[in-house]
């Protein structure tokens, strides 16, 4: 289940990446360390933000809003439901779609930017 693995990434791995990389936004991560592991973590952090900003953010597919508000800003789902204007079941479905979309774009971005080993959500 792709969406469950992506959900775990945002709940467990993303906070660690934020701590390791200093929590800076993508534009602040320009000086990569010579430590290979840290470079890898910084690359994954950058790709995560790049991928989030490539997600659709339309009224029919508010994927970017859901991911940023829920996982980055820690807004309760009930507030996101109000913000995007869908019911609870529809929002949960959109949430799963957003996670699947993130996984697909993230894999493409890793390959495009030659970030190995690949983190795959399958």
Q: Please report the pLDDT score of residue 30 as a whole number.
A: 47
pTM of the predicted model over 0.95: no
For residue 68, CA distances in Å to 31, 36, 80, 98, 115 come to: 25, 28, 10, 11, 23
Interatomic CA distance for residues 14 and 62, integer angstroms: 21
Interatomic CA distance for residues 115 and 106, integer angstroms: 11
Taking only the tens place, the pLDDT of each residue in 90-120 is: 999 999 999 999 988 988 888 887 777 766 6
Locate 63 and state its tokens.
């994927």
Interatomic CA distance for residues 97 and 122, integer angstroms: 14
Taking only the tens place, the pLDDT of each residue in 48-97 is: 889 999 999 999 999 999 999 999 899 999 999 999 999 999 999 999 99
Tally helices (H) and strands (E) across the chain.
6, 0
Domains and CATH numbers, the chain: 2-21+36-112 (1.10.10)
């Amino acid at each position: 289940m792709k969406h469950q693995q992506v959900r775990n990434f945002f709940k467990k791995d993303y906070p660690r990446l934020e701590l390791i990389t200093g929590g800076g936004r993508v534009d602040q991560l320009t000086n990569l360390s010579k430590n290979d592991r840290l470079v890898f973590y910084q690359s994954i952090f950058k790709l995560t933000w790049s991928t989030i900003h490539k997600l659709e953010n339309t009224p029919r597919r508010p994927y970017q809003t859901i991911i940023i508000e829920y996982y980055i800003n820690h807004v309760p789902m009930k507030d996101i439901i109000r913000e995007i204007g869908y019911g609870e079941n529809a929002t949960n479905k959109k949430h799963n779609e957003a996670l699947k979309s993130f996984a697909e774009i993230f894999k493409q971005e890793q390959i495009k930017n030659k970030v190995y080993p690949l983190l795959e959500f399958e």
